[in-house]
Chains A and B, each alone.
Chain A
């Protein structure tokens, strides 16, 4: 195993004769990362040790006080749990449902182009709009779905029922991300040589078995990539959905970490507190991504 890896690494390596060409080639990418990641990240770090009024006319250096205030806030600690539940649900549901759709789209022969196009559409919808859309369907008194649920004997009320509210935002967040996942899964499936699947079929493997023993293992790089991307999506990108659908309520039951960053920074205009939270979030994300690359990637077959 080890030797095989090394051999592959050797084969992949490209040798440049000039010393500056590789630098020049990565320079655009580095510039983008510097401007859009390192600079804002440094800015966040800088703000996180300050306390300032909304207009920035009064800036005080407070050291780690913003962070200490966070740890002293029970509701902030509780939102870690909320975030964990939300991210596991969205990532798991989003990946499985889009994999299922991709497998079916891969097989469909008639009208597959139409089917694929329709599945890709939700990706063009802005998160806030997605939130409003689902909110509308589930609105306790006028929503289509809540009306059907009431007819089935379930009194849907996400305004006061935390579980209902969580279901609502999970659905909206999953729906929003399905297209993206679907595209990658479909591309992954279509890059699997047909001969492998046919060989398995000739050996007598049914569709289910072919999927688990041939297709799914060959899809692991895609799945791993999507897992990383989905976790980042849930952690960073879902605040607009939550803001539109539940505003973090009822109580704080759908207030995930990034929603509080957004709320404190953009609505409450507490830049120091918001920056401190985004630093925490950044540390968590970096940690999670490292863990994923170190441990989960070992199970990935390239």
Chain B
């Protein structure tokens, strides 16, 4: 008897879910956030699902940025792409060029009848995801920028003032020398060397990284990194490398771990490293602005963004786009954004979210967290708006390869940058051709 009742109960329950599933539109959201950040993403989806009953967002972790990007492209070719895809900044140009594969964010909102105002976004962020015709193509989601992290305890031990971190490159060299003299094996390192030492470096000094306004104005863009300023900086770093003041710790973000472990005392990297430094280090971490050369007019300007945005993929049902629009609306809520910003160390992507965070006293309680914000929330220039290049994955790798040769002393800074430009320009030409058809 008991068994039978249970069976009926289960059957009724199933029926209920089936009916419920029919009424509810489900959308797939592929992302690349693992660990702590993965929980943050799941929390956002759960938060949205709890606010209404018509739509359900299902977040799916698909590996690192390049992995989920490749997986989504394969899925698109096979006709089963996700509804929403998180794409890193390096993939932006490829997504923009893929006209038939994506639906611009303002179009998603307009057809769903949801009000959308692109001007609430921080210009440096929204500008990055806006096409030359002024149309915003993707929704800014997790944006970070390059900052300078330093170990306050190591500074104290070396007799440096932890409240006065080096602001300029000559000061970095001086601090590194002091740290080395105090017995530090790795005074300075860097993550994402192309992003920090060339891309952000260029914007920070208000010079172009690539022609045609860093690729914003057309596919005919070519690298512009063979200027005396770029050469001077790379040569400076190469000298530091020879003297053991700068220790190369590998590509991508592999240097992050050496800073968190305390092995390296200073690093340039993503502002999103803040979370790990706060939770996992045994020392007190500090954040400062990216160093610059004080004799360069216009420096410091602003830094360029990294991180990712959300893209709506083409070929879905109208009802599903309504779900996407509702989800986008939820994500654009200032309260939701302010919470995300404080939790993760990513930038507040709207001015309102910044305002809320400032009012709550978060920046005062957590010194240094406002550095990335003040670096970014500025008026941008045509040279500093951001960098948008095709085949950027290859170009980043080429820059990694050439810079490694420079750090190892096999090439001079001039040679390395010239070779990097020559090889990258081939990739840019290739992209131009493939996209124009």
Contacts and interface: CB of A to CB of B under 8 A. Distances in A.
Given A251-B404, A268-B394, A58 B435 contact: yes
Interface stretch (B91-99, B151-159, B176-184): B91-99
Contacts of B405: 250-251
A190 interface: no
Contacts of A268: 391, 393-394, 397
Interface string B359-395: 0000000000000000000000000000000010110
A263 B397 contact: yes
A98 interface: no
Nearest to A157: B248
Interface in A43-94: 51-58, 60, 62, 69, 72-73, 75
B94 A57 contact: no
Interface stretch (B69-77, B105-113, B274-282): B69-77
A100 B434 CA distance: 53
Contacts of B69: 269
Contacts of B70: 266-267, 269
Contact of B426 (A73, A161, A263): A73
A247 interface: yes
Given A55-B101, A60-B437, A269 B73 contact: yes
B435 A53 contact: yes
Contact of B391 (A247, A251, A266, A270): A270
A213 interface: no
Interface in B60-96: 66, 69-70, 73, 76-77, 94
A264 interface: yes
B101 A160 contact: no
* Size class of the contact patch on chain A: 20 to 34
Contacts of B430: 51, 69, 270, 273
Nearest to B408: A160
Interface residues of B, number: 38
Contact of B66 (A75, A160, A267): A267
A53 B404 CA distance: 29
Contacts of B393: 267-269
B402 interface: yes
Interface in B398-437: 400-402, 404-405, 407-408, 410, 423, 426, 430, 433-435, 437
Given A54-B94, A54-B98, A270-B394, 12 more contacts: A55-B100, A57-B100, A60-B433, A75-B423, A159-B404, A248-B397, A249-B404, A251-B405, A266-B70, A268-B391, A270-B391, A272-B434
Interface of A: 51-58, 60, 62, 69, 72-73, 75, 141, 159-162, 247-252, 263-264, 266-270, 272-273
- A-B pairs, 9 with minimum CB distance: A250-B404, A55-B101, A160-B408, A55-B98, A57-B100, A251-B405, A268-B393, A268-B394, A51-B434
